[in-house]
A and B are shown apart, each in its own frame.
Chain A
Amino acid sequence: MNGTSHSRAQVPPGVQCFVGDEARRRRRIEDRVVSVFEGWDYEEIIPPLFDYADVFAGQALAPKTYSFVGRDGSLLALRPDFTSLLAKVAAGRLANRPAPIRLYYSGEVLRYEPPKAGRQSELYQMGLEHLGGGPPTADAEILAVAAECLDALGVRGWVLALGHVGVFNGLLEGTALDAPALERLRERVDAKDAEGARQALTEAGVAREVAEAVVRLTALSGDPPVLAEAERALAFSPRARAALAELRAIVEALSAAGLGRHLTVDLGEVRGLDYYTGLVFRAYAPGLGFEVGGGGRYDTLLARFGRPMPAVGFMLGLDRVALLLDRQEAAPAPALPAAENIASGDVGKALAHARGRRAAGARVRFGNGGGR
């Protein structure tokens, strides 16, 4: 312990530790979500905690990845997310498995991230990937699974905010924005700042029709009828039109399945543009200031692993679900029945008695002492 500046009890920032009822509550949340995943015929995958760093390369997460050098000199990384690992397995070990492949996971990911607004360095994610299915069918399926998870958890007032990266990207297709100018614009559209977006577009010299349409994105959010407004306003761009048609097909399928009142359209959703290729969505609920989960379509990732196919996925953050249920004052996990104290005068006899009570289904506390 020489050279350390911390006390024995101190924990590094960004990690968490759960005891007793807290841990039980998290396990219960996980059980509910997993049973929904399995109900939709998704198979569990337990990928490794670390892999070669290049598996995770080329993502926005790269700067947040904990990487280290293995004994043989190879660069390794603790998993900052699950999706790349699942893509690797689907393209490798499951290469002969016909698509679509439905996989789910539940576990920790690790990121260099200052603890802030519901983010920790150690995050517990529950998610699934639908590999090899195109829109709108696979997209509608995973949105329906997400919806069922939120209902199964007892979340009140949740909404799924749906966007499509093809709208923003399609509008700007053919304009010669360099990376910094594009990022400045994306950041202002993401903040729904119409004036800021207009200024960024003017500085970049974007043509007026396109610029006005991009500015419109900051206000094109709301109930599904906003799609019709968008279709009129963005009709000049074939790619934006195609993206809207795809989004409409998804929205109509979900509405027909009775989920319409939980949907909101957000065409200003422009996060993860270099990763997602189609639908993007976030799940929100009153009481939690940030999304409880989200996902989208990423049709180019699998090609990196040698098995090009479309893919769509979503995940819920267990930490955020727990926080949200707290804020909504949802019922905690029911208490366990009291344990019977079985004292151990004669250890053999007491143990035989305890085993008998266990066989009868009772909870027992063997021996004396201890407390909670």
Chain B
Amino acid sequence: MSLTVALSKGKLLGGSESLFRRARLPFPEAEGRRLVVSLDGLRFLFVKDMDVPTYVEYGVADCGVAGRDVLLESGSDVYEPLDLGFGRCRLVVARRQGGPDPRSASSLRVATKYPKVAAAHFQQHGLSVEVVTLAGSVELAPGLGLADCIVDVVETGRTLAENGLEVVEDVAASSARFVVNRASYHSRRGEVSHLLDALRQAAP
């Protein structure tokens, strides 16, 4: 039985591919429409980035590549033994440029794709917030009056600026992580170590 690797079809796919190739590990040519591909002793699952931790936590995949942002939001109980160094971004609180500081507001509505992270962050600061969960285009929310601020990932900050937003504070730093299922880590130790060592040597 070969190890199963869950990979994100989203923004981490390119980085995963070049890392696997540098590590001289198999990687499917073009995933096309096939969501499950077996190749040279590995089985690849291509899933949505938010779903990678779930596949790994349940042991459907033995390991995978997931962003720290997604791991924080999912709260999945998986090992994260390796920071792969790509996909770097920050989870931040952002508001309309020149708007009031959301941390001093008495009540606050936050739009985000990361409802658990956002709620936990403001709770830690003693603020009770109403979290509005969106599936995308979160940057629109403050300008249209849906929310006072947003919690979202930024890489360069350009999207924020184009939508008239500015960063208030950082919530967490994120990058791609190699994650491993707890049971696989122990009961398929040899195969997992082999993969982990190859990736560790190839990671920047």
Binding site for B on A (CB under 8 A): 117, 157-159, 161, 191-196, 218-219, 221-223, 264, 266, 282, 284-291
Q: Is the CB of B188 closer than 8 A to any CB of chain A?
A: yes
**19 pairs of residues in contact across A and B, judged by CB atoms under 8 Å:** A117-B57, A117-B58, A157-B187, A158-B187, A159-B187, A192-B81, A194-B81, A222-B189, A264-B186, A264-B189, A266-B186, A286-B187, A289-B57, A289-B59, A289-B181, A289-B184, A290-B57, A290-B58, A290-B182
Within 8 A of A (CB), among B176-204: 177, 180-189, 193
Contact call B81/A291, Cβ cutoff below 8 A: no
Flag if B187 contacts A285 (CB, 8 Å). Answer: yes
A264 contacts which chain B residues (CB < 8 A)? Answer: 186, 189
Which residues of the partner chain B approach A223 to less than 8 Å between Cβ atoms? 189
Complex contact B186–A117 (CB within 8 A) = no
Closest A residue to B182 by CB, please name it. A290
Complex CA–CA separation, A303 to B5 (angstroms): 47
Please tell me which stretch of B72-80, B112-120, B139-147 contacts chain A, meaning at least 4 of its Cβ atoms lie within 8 angstroms of it: B72-80
Distance of A157 Cα from B183 Cα, bound (Å): 11
Chain A residues with CB under 8 Å of B177's CB are 193
Q: Decide: A191 near B79, CB < 8 A? Known: A286-B188, A287-B59, A288-B59.
A: yes
Give the residue of B80, B83, B183 whose beta carbon is less than 8 angstroms from that of A288. B183
Q: How large is the interface on B (under 10, 10 to 19, 20 to 34, 35 or more residues)?
A: 20 to 34
Tell me the smallest distance from the CB of B182 to a CB of chain A, in Å.
6
Q: Does B1 contact A (CB under 8 A)?
A: yes
Contact B77 A117 (CB under 8 A): yes
CB of A289 within 8 A of CB of B186, answer no
Interface of A is mostly: loop
**Bound CA span A193–B177, Å:** 9
Scan B60-97; emit 1 where CB is below 8 A from any A CB, else 0: 10000000000000000111110100000000000000
CA of A192 to CA of B56, assembled, Å: 15
CB contacts (< 8 Å) of B185 on chain A: these are 192, 221
A291 touches B183 (CB 8 A): yes
Number of A-B contacts (CB under 8 A): 67
A301 to chain B, nearest CB (A): 25
Give Cα A158 to B186, complex, Å: 9
- Of A218, A222, A286, chain B has the most CB atoms within 10 Å of the CB of A286
Closest CB of chain B to A321's CB: distance in Å? 14
Residue of B nearest to A266 (CB): B186
Tell me, in angstroms, the Cα distance from A285 to B79 when the chains sit together.
16
Q: Which 7 A-B pairs have the closest CB atoms?
A: A289-B59, A284-B183, A193-B80, A192-B81, A192-B79, A284-B187, A191-B80
Given contacts A192-B81, A218-B81, contact A285 B183 (CB under 8 A): yes
Q: Which of A191, A194, A264, A286 has the most CB of B within 10 A?
A: A191
Determine which of A191, A192, A193, A289 lies in contact with B183 in the assembled complex, contact meaning CB atoms within 8 Å: A289
**Neighbouring B residues of A282 by C-beta, 8 Å:** 182, 186
The answer on a CB contact under 8 Å between B181 and A161 is: no
| Smallest Cβ-Cβ distance to A219: which chain B residue | B81
Q: A291: which B residues are within 8 A, CB to CB? A: 182-183
Query: Whole-angstrom distance between the alpha carbons of A37 and B79 in the complex?
Result: 33
Known: A117-B57, A117-B58, A264-B189. A290 touches B183 (CB 8 A): yes
- Residues on B with C-beta less than 8 A from A158 are 187
B81: chain A residues at CB < 8 Å are 192-194, 218-219
Question: Can you add 15 more A-B contacts, CB < 8 Å, to A158-B187, A193-B177, A289-B181?
Answer: A159-B189, A191-B80, A192-B185, A193-B83, A218-B81, A264-B186, A266-B186, A284-B182, A284-B186, A288-B59, A289-B57, A289-B60, A289-B183, A290-B77, A290-B182
**Contact partners of B58 in chain A: CB under 8 A:** 117, 289-290
Smallest distance from the beta carbon of A91 to chain B beta carbons, Å? 34
CA distance A161 to B184 in the complex (A): 12
Q: How far is the CA of A157 from the CA of B184 in the complex (A)?
A: 11
Which of B1, B78, B81, B188 has the most chain A CB atoms inside 10 A of its CB?
A: B81
Return the chain A residue nearest B177 by Cβ: A193
Q: Which residues of B contact A159 (CB under 8 A)?
A: 186-187, 189
A196/B80 contact (C-beta < 8 A), A289-B60, A289-B182 known = yes
A286's nearest neighbour on chain B, judged by CB, is: B187
User: What residues of B have a CB within 8 angstroms of the CB of A221 in the complex?
Assistant: 185-186
Report A-chain residues with C-beta under 8 Å of the C-beta of B182.
282, 284, 289-291
